[in-house]
Each structure stands twice: as C-alpha cells, then as structure tokens.
Chain A
Amino acid sequence: MSENDGQRFDRIPATEDEREVEGRATREEVVDWWENRFGIPAETFADHTFWEKGAGKIWIFAGDAPSPISIEGLGMTFLRTRQEHWKPTTDAVQRFGRLATTNVFELTEEQAGRFVAGEDQEIPYDGDWGYVIAAHEIAGEREPIGVGLYVYGELKSTVPKGRQRSV
C-alpha cells in the first residue's frame, strides 16, 4: 500500500477492494457516513466525485477531473477523516444539511446567535453524542448554521473563527 501525498488531489477509491492508499476513506464509506449520521440520501451525491488532499481532508467536486491533479482547490472541503470521529465542515453542512433528518439540533433565535458567535451552551438533548448539525428557522424554513459537538450536556460551537459573527 502506498502513502497519502498531501500536496495533490487523489480521487478516493469507490470501495475497500479498490483502496491503494493506506487509511484513505472510500466513496462508499463517505456516502454511508452522511446517510447514517444525518439521514442525507446517498443519491444526493450521485453527480459528485470525492478527493483527498491533505491528511484526511476529503473534498467534494461536481464533475470529474484527471487523478491525481496538482492544483490549489477542487470543489469544497467536505469531511475530515483519519481521526476517531469523522467531522463534517461548516460549509458542507450549510450546503447539504437541509436534507438532514437526524442529529439536527434546532436552536432558538437567541441560541443561534450565540452559536454563530462561537459560544458553547448547555442545552438538554436526547439524541446521539458527537457531531451534530445546528439549525434555526429563517424565512419560514429550517436552515443549517454549522457543526456542533454535543458532549456531556453541552453543545460546543465549531464555527471556524473566520466565520464567527455577531448577527
């Protein structure tokens, strides 16, 4: 098995049988993860390809490109793998999280404002621990805000510093 080269984009293998790079997530695992964790149907990603650049950083790209490809960016950063608990990116959750049916944390307006400012909050919740989608209602619909980490009765905001706002 070869090693991951963090300087270029490699398309990830379809399944475990095709895996040539040690520790690399497969397309099947990635799609299953979103379905199992958030109930987002696998066909949502039918027209996207998935790529690894950086250690465990998975990118989602609409369409295809030659693999490997050495450029600066390919689609959107999507998911962090190569760690015990896989973590979706804020941007991926904002783009695809509307379709989520499980592990969605619906916040009040006041809680949503604190979440976006990067604050951790104690909020009762009887769902799974781990990474959740924080959402609130805007313009009559539930809209995903970002990624929360729910542990020990506390919702931790993982909104990146550069995206934190006081709204």
Chain B
Amino acid sequence: MEPFERYRDVVDDFEAFIDACRRSLPMAVRVNTLKATTEQVERAFDEAGVGFERAGWHPHVMRVETDTPGATWPSFHGWVHGQEEVSAIPATVLAPEPGERVLDACAAPGSKATQLAAEMDDEGTLVANDNNLGRLSALRFNCERLGVTNVAVTNRDARNFSLKPFAAEGEHEGPQFDRVLVDAPCSCEGTIRKNPDALDGWSEDHVAGIAGVQKGILRRAIQVTRDGGHVVYSTCTFAPEENEAVLDHVLQQEDCHLVDYDLALEHDDGLTGWQDQEFDPQMTKAKRVYPHQNDTGGFFTAKLEVGA
C-alpha cells in the first residue's frame, strides 16, 4: 500500500480507504439484456441455490454469493457476465443508443464492449478495437457467448486508429463515430482488492510512461468522433497523472470539453490540482470512486463532448 501514501491528503477518511483496499472484493455479475432479463436471471439463480443482491445504482448489476459465477447455468447461457461493479460505470456513462456508430478503443477482453452492445440492443455498429492480438480471442469469445452480432473487431494501436477499413468504395475515410469509449490501459491501482499484486510493478516512471500512451489514445478518440458526439475516458487507477493530467492535456490539444453526468454511486469530484500542478476547472465534472465509498474497486470516469 506504500504508493497510496501519496493520496493521504486527497482521500477523505484515508484510513478507511486503506482498510477497504486490504479487503477482498465481493463477486458481481452484469445481466446481459440481449439474452435475459434481471428477473429471469434471479429466477435461475434461485433454482440453482445461488444467493444474490441487486446493486442499488444499476438495474443490471448484481452481487452474487458464489466464488465461481462462471460455473452456473446463467453464465453458460450468456445471461450474465462476471464483471466488477465499477467496471460497469463507463459504458453506463457513455450510454450509446441503438443504431449508433460506437468505438471501444481498448476493448479486450470485452466486459465493457459487450455492455455497450447490450445498451445498443445489438443494433448499429460497435467497433471493438484492441492492440493486443492475443487478447482479441478473449474479446471475441465473450462477444459470441453473450450473443453480440453488431460488433466489428479490429486490431490496431488505438493511437493510430484508422477509419479506412470502413470506407465505402471511392471514399477516402470511413464514417466518424457517435460515441467512443477510451477505457485506457493504466497502472490499475484501483484493482488492488481483486489483484493483490497490482502494485508490484508500481513506479512513478511507469505511471508517467503510461500517461503518454493514454494521451495519444484519447486524442485519437476525439479526432474520430463527430462534432457533438461523446467520448468517455476511464481508468481503474487513482493516479492523477493518468486521470486529470491526461484530460487537462487533451483539453488543450483538441476541440472538446468536459460535460456533467449522473452517477448514483458515492464518489468524489475530479481534482483541480495535484502536487504543484493546476488543472482546468472543468475537472470537477470528472468522478473518482474510492473502494471505501461503495465497497467496490476504485475507478475514474470523465465524459467529454467533441466540438465547441
């Protein structure tokens, strides 16, 4: 927990925060509305003798009393997907509509991509991209198990994402996106409850290096989104270098601004300063979720609108 000492002055009730980070995480699943309703899943869990509780903030997220949710009928049928509660935040905030054109820039292994497809009711086009060919098979496996048919899977570095494969004959570039999710690769501090080794490779150099990648991905995401479209930026880390500082950089480089949104989980606002750096005042519209606030993992989310 040594790296978390940096956050002593930032996090309310720092001792409760550290205590929560030491506890293991409750198991959660998301109902896949392409195949089942929450009521059907509840009935199936009842039949299997698996205890459950609906999350108060989201109609399709449930906490389940089993260590192996994957070995249940609802999982086999693709009615549910094992997914940490906070991991359901970004697709909920992006809120795509059926028929839209949506990009998930860092999509593997597919928890959020399949949630986006469900929000779209499997209508429109969801481009699920990841730079790691090995992880793409997990992404495809999850999409198929959950019955997604509106996904196009691409294997690119999201910093150079190309619209060209989707261009019609004679066109130079393919159509821009209505919405883009950038759930960026990060230092994963917020996953400490799920993965006690999460901090093993932690260093300020690592954080700084990954922040450079995040800036490149978010900038490209803004560039491939139509004017008036939305981009959600999220990480599972607390590091301001990877959150507010990335947004601050992109706000200066690209034509976009932060917008407010509702989140029915207890959270803090984004930081307007960190160490000796000041951030754009819009940063209060970003949200930080700490493990002790809702007994979840840690998360960061911001919503941007493209154009003036």
Contact = CB atoms under 8 A, between A and B. Distances in A.
B151 A63 contact: no
B152 A62 contact: no
Contact of A63 (B73, B141, B150, B154): B150
Interface stretch (B8-16, B120-128, B254-262, B297-305): B120-128
A128 to B, nearest CB: 25
Interface in A73-113: 73-77, 89, 91, 94-95
A90 to B, nearest CB: 8
Interface stretch (A12-20, A35-43, A64-72, A150-158): A64-72
A162 B141 contact: yes
Interface size range of chain A in the complex: 20 to 34
B58 interface: no
A143 interface: yes
B44 A73 contact: no
Contact of B140 (A66, A69, A73, A145): A73
A61 interface: yes
The DSSP consensus for interface residues of chain A is mixed
B149 A75 contact: yes
B43 A74 contact: no
Interface string A46-67: 0110000000000011110110
Contacts of A76: 143-144, 147-149
Contacts of A167: 71-73, 76
B135 to A, nearest CB: 11
A91 B77 contact: no
